[in-house]
Amino acid sequence: MITIYIREHGTHNRGWSFDFNADLNNYTSSESLLEDLYEYTREKIEANGLTYEDEMEEWLITDWEIDNSDFNMQFDEYFNLDKLIEINAKMNELNETEIKLVSALMNNGSTFQEAIESYEDTYYFEGTLEDWAYEMVEEGLFGNINEKLMFYIDYQKLARDLSYEGYVEDNNISFCMN
């Protein structure tokens, strides 16, 4: 799900751009990822006829790709690699709707950990708040409403009122934050 481009920091400071492409699905710890990075960097230094005697111990993330457009997490160049590998593993366990819901929760103030812990207990609807308001009326959640009167209900305003009560719409998924 997450691919990062990572560079050894000492070579970066010398102006060399040897970015290692790391698919986090292939790693269970930062230790093995960093071993691969340092080995890759040494190979690139040698292949380019360069000399570098310093110990390799620092790194930075130069770019990343997430292969699911519904999940839009942001992180910085020094984000904890073990945490990133853990996030990748947890996201791989989720289906498309769960990924949308976790992302929507994060977009609305939850941390990744909070979103992962609460998404299963979050009541949600795939669609807009207006669609959900219509569904609620159809299911009788506002009591029995005569069919002739249902045509006069303003679902847009009902959706707006739901938003005042903690209902949120994000990325074509609606959920209740309460």
pLDDT tens for 45-85 read 999 998 888 888 899 999 999 988 888 788 899 999 999 99
With vertex at residue 83, the alpha carbon angle to CA 113 and CA 121, rounded to the nearest 5 degrees, is 20
Written as six digits, the tokens of 103 are: 């992302």
Give 11-40 pLDDT, tens digit per residue: 888 888 899 999 999 999 999 999 999 999
Give the side-chain half-sphere CA count within 13 A for 121: 7
Q: What is the largest CA-CA distance in the chain?
A: 82
Percent of the chain past pLDDT 90, that is, above it, reads: 61
Percent of the chain past pLDDT 70, that is, above it, reads: 99
Instruction: Please state, in angstroms and as integers, the Cα–Cα distance from residue 11 to each residue in 14, 53, 56, 86, following that order.
Output: 5, 10, 9, 27
Residue 127 is classified by DSSP as S
pLDDT, the chain, mean:
91
Phi, psi for residue 177 in degrees, rounded to 5: -80, -10
Looking at this protein, which amino acid is placed at residue 173?
Answer: I
Question: pTM of whole model > 0.95?
Answer: no
Looking at this protein, which amino acid is placed at residue 95?
Answer: N
- Write down the residue that tokens 């299963």 correspond to: 120
What are the structural domains of the chain? 2-93 (no CATH), 95-178 (1.10.10.1190)
pLDDT recorded at residue 147: 86
**Number of C-beta neighbours around residue 77 at 10 A:** 14
